[in-house]
Amino acid sequence: MQVKPSDIQFDTEHNLIHFVWENEKTVTLSHDQLRQSCPCAFCRYNKIKKLPVTLVEHVHVVELNSQGYGAQICFSDGHDKGIFPWIYIKNMS
């Protein structure tokens, strides 16, 4: 079973990223959705402890780096610690 998407399409006009898998499943996520769903230890800790999280409005993805099992997504607010596993992204629909 392939977990990595076969294509990633960036819609810069609408700040969306389309993750396309070979089985034709497509997951479309906004930059804000991705930032709010960051799976890094810092963000997970804050969610678990129900600590207030201050996010910049209308954050943008500035870089996406494939890390084999997932993608490191770097945001315009400087946050770049989260590795988003491909299966995590695929299940975000």
Summarised one tens digit per residue, pLDDT across range 54-83 is: 777 789 999 999 998 999 999 999 999 999
3-state secondary structure of 75: strand
- Residue 2 burial (10 A CB sphere; 0-12, 13-18, 19+): exposed
What whole-number distance in Å separates Cα of residue 6 and Cα of residue 22? 6
| Domain annotation for the chain: domains and CATH numbers | 7-90 (3.30.2020.30)
Query: Across the beta sheet with 83-85, what order do the strands follow?
Result: 61-66, 70-75, 83-85
Quick: pLDDT tens for 43-54: 999 889 988 767
Helix (H, G, I), strand (E, B) or coil at 48: helix
